[in-house]
Amino acid sequence: MQIQQKLEYPFWKIPFFLIKSLLICIKVFRTGILALLIENKYFNKQIVLILKILNFIFGNKNQKEIGKKLCNILINLGPGYIKFGQALSTRPDILGKSTCHELKKLQGDLKPFSNYVAKKIINDQNENFFHESLAAFDENPIASASVAQVHTGMLKDGKKIAIKILKPNIHKQLFKDFTFFYWIAKFLEFFLPNIRRLKLSRNVEVLSEVSLNELDLTLEASAADELAENFKDHPNYKVPKIYWEFTTKNMLVIEFIEGIRIDDLESLNAYKHNIKHITEVGTEVFFLQVFRDGFFHGDMHPGNILIDKEGKLVPIDFGIMGRLSNKDRQFLALLLTNLLNKNYKKVVEIHDEANMLGKDISHDHLSQAIRAISTPILNKPIGEVSFAKLLGQVLNLSKNFNIEVQPQFTLLQKTMLMAEGTTRQINPNVNMWELSRPLINKWITDTHDPFEVLEKWFHKNKIAILKIPEIINKIDELLSNK
């Protein structure tokens, strides 16, 4: 069954959804977050005015512990909201450092379920695991996040492992959240026709499908396996080993990695890790995943990236992965390069070539609009430049210029925001997109090599080409018989 059919809701739930959305908004606004958004001057004047009105009506004058209040509300609301909070935790430019510090607890410091339940789940998945395979098992989990928690153990051959198990009833809880998000998208599209081109409901479908796949841990194991294959020759990026013989849909057994969180600067410096080198490797890996492979880690918050004792970057969660076609990658590479080069007319041209512009759109006016939103961002100090924000601003032009929003970029934009936020946390003076520029330029040159294109065309059509002499002979025979 398609994800769209799964997210459909009965008509009688609409009044309930209306009341629920209003109550959630009031709860969130009461944390004081609106005053924080206004103070950080992240949004344009029109949005700031709306925020001020909402803050006047619903806001809380007590501005203390905003992050803690918001964190508690998101936890109580459910796993879908926790995922939203995880993404926000990487954006101190929006919420401030103290708020983001509190939201980091959503990345792996949630209340775990009981040891009894954990053991029962493991035993249900593999009744012989405890007796035949494990030499030791730690009942206290090392991490508890939105959909799963992780325990450590030791196999009888001495190898230390991490055992990830899904939380009870998580399928039902997460699906309930995404159904509500889907209704909100449909509601906005119905009452605000101008935002339909943003494809909000389709974006929810994409994120729902990706996130719901996270609930099958064999798919996560498969993703880790594919990522490991892609980076098998990379000296500074290591994917932990998957123990397939113990892995099931509800339990993932993986090599345990001793490491330091990528944003724990105090510990990284204490162990004399090279922060600049880590930033460069992280940028290179992100580029290779997105542009070379079209298969990227879609949940790149700092809690999912460790630095091992050798200084290698080690991803530890593979539940959310994204894919881009070669056509999507070429569009993105050209978009990024031309924005960084401030070639705004070319930015319009690639949108047009990708059939993303409506008819009768003035290219000159669109180019001018892109320049207007790009210049303030690109003129900032290098460490503050956010291409993810710029991409979002360009996509927001869809209302006035009928730009067709591409849902496949939704997860990528979220990942870009996380990657930028993480890079900025560990090395504020570095811009990952400037580091990526030479890699992207080389990739564009290589993928547009006419000889390579010709070679690919020949390979794709070689069966038909090889039949040409046979066809000519048959034509010659027909002509001879006449």
Which range in 247-261, 314-328, 366-380, 442-456 is most confidently predicted, on average pLDDT? 247-261
Positions marked catalytic: 299
* Whole-number Å distance between alpha carbons of 80 and 412: 18
pLDDT exceeding 90 applies to what percent of the chain? 26
The pLDDT, as a whole number, for residue 235 is 95
For the entire predicted model, the pTM comes to 0.72
The pLDDT, as a whole number, for residue 256 is 95
Residue for token pair 């430049």:
385
Show me where the domains of the chain are located.
31-107, 115-168+216-322, 324-447, 450-481
- Per-residue pLDDT of 111-160, as tens digits, reads 888 889 999 999 999 888 988 999 999 999 988 888 889 999 999 999 99
With b for 16 or more beta-carbon neighbours within 10 A and e for fewer, the 74-112 pattern comes to bbebbbbbbbbbbbbbbbbbbbbeebbebbbbbbbebeb
The pLDDT, as a whole number, for residue 278 is 92
Concatenate the DSSP letters of all residues of 13-57 into one string: GHHHHHHHHHHHHHHHHTTTHHHHHHHTT-S-HHHHHHHHHHHHH
- Per-residue pLDDT of 73-92, as tens digits, reads 988 998 888 877 876 776 67
CATH topology of domain 115-168+216-322: Transferase(Phosphotransferase); domain 1 (1.10.510)
At 181, the pLDDT band (50, 70, 90 cuts) reads: confident
The pLDDT, as a whole number, for residue 464 is 59
